Amino acid sequence: MSPRPTASEVRQAAVGRGDNPEAFQLYLQGKYCSERVTQADSDRAIELFRKALAIDPAFALAWAGLARSHQMQSGFGFAPIDEGSERAREAAQRAVKIAPDLAEGHIQLGLVQEGYDWDWAAADASFRRALELAPGDANAVRAAAGLARILGRFDEAQALMHKAIALDPLSSRTHRQAAMIYLAADRIDDAAAAFQLALDLSPNFGLAHAFLAIARLLQGRGEEGLALAEAESHDVFRNLAFTMIHHSLGHPAEADAALQTLIGQFGWTAAFQIAEAFAHRGEIDKAYEWLEKAYAQRDSGVSYTAVDVLLRPLHGDPRWRPFLERLHLA
Distance CA 106, CA 116 (A): 15
Name the CA radius of gyration of the chain, rounded.
20
As annotated, the residues of the chain forming the CATH 1.25.40.10 domain(s) are 15-135
pLDDT at residue 39, rounded to an integer:
87
pLDDT at residue 10, rounded to an integer:
34
Residues with pLDDT less than 50, the chain: 1-15
pLDDT at residue 18, rounded to an integer:
66
Distance CA 101, CA 98 (A): 9
Give the rounded distance of the alpha carbon of 152 from its chain centre: 16
- In angstroms, the Cα distances linking 287 to 14, 180, 217, 300 are 48, 21, 20, 17
Q: What is the pLDDT of residues 269-325, one digit of tens each?
A: 999 999 999 999 999 999 999 999 999 999 999 999 999 999 999 999 999 999 999
Question: What CATH number does domain 15-135 carry, 1.10.10.410, 1.10.10.10, 1.25.40.10, 3.40.50.2000?
Answer: 1.25.40.10
DSSP 8-state class, residue 152: T
Residue type, 286: K
pLDDT at residue 38, rounded to an integer:
83
**pTM for the whole thing?**
0.91
